[in-house]
Structure 1
Amino acid sequence: MSDFSADFELDGEPEREFHPGIAKRMAHKTVASGALIRDPAGRVLFVVPNYKPYLDIPGGIVEPGEPPSAACAREVAEEVGLELRIGPLLLVDWTPGRGPWSDQVQFVFDGGVLAPGAAIRPAGDELTGYRWATLEEARPDLRASLYRRLTLASKAVLLGYPLHAEFGHLLSQS
């Protein structure tokens, strides 16, 4: 993780609350970060979680004080055993809260193209395996919002700049 101590020093003393307690009453969003990892044939690396009934990409929840890009690298290493240099941001997507989950801000980073024969080691405590597939091949096993999100992330790879979405629907382009 990055050391921001010099930046904190430049910013000066932390802001004090004008009305004590207001910060704790404000809404908090979950932040998640994942990697779009491809093979030379253009297929996407999907993980098979043991805690939900659909495919996902390697990634997970950003810890407090952790930058999204660092969380992405950490989660990829933890979930599939790959120590990747995480590439540029492809997409920022907001998803509404549903069921037990709060709304989320989701970052998708470019995980690059994995060399053939790379050792993928799924974490047994949270994954039952992994799968290489095109988005269309994986579509029946994806949530519709994730399919939309990954379609936009794939588009961002081709465009060369990040996109902004809400629930997988494109909002703006640079």
Structure 2
Amino acid sequence: MLFNSNSARMDKLSIVFMRKHMFLNIVIALLLIGACTFEIDTKIRLIDNKNPPTFKLSGTGCCPYIHMSGPYTNLNNIESLRLWEITGMTDLPVWRLIPITYGSLPSGFSQQFPQQGQPIPLEEGKYYTIFVYVHGARSGFTAFKIQNNVAVEVKRE
């Protein structure tokens, strides 16, 4: 009888342990699935505002296509005036890329526009926009103005 009661108690403990273990495995699996689908929108931050400016990308998207346009006299009436277009040739997320300076083609990128040579210099008192299109997350946008030979981020009105 003693053996049977201990055996029954061990069976109950095994069932409780298995249920807790199964619950823990389900929680871990859900966390891993959630982490795999987590996206962070693309952000563009000026990190060196001298002319030409340097910017750093953040976010989980990859294969960036960067489109800079301008010059504009204001940001209310922007049209597509292509200045510089480059494409990242890597599957790395944009937060892992090196900072990008306007007109300087980073390693791992190809230049689409202009087809050859450097883009035109940025003009004093004019506005410019940067769009970054990516795969796997929302794209990013920022605008800046060259003021006293310094790039100053501005909000679109």
By percentage of residues, which structure has more strand? 2
What's the TM-score, normalizing by structure 2?
A: 0.31
* Structure index of larger Rg: 2
Provide the TM-score with structure 1 as the length reference: 0.29
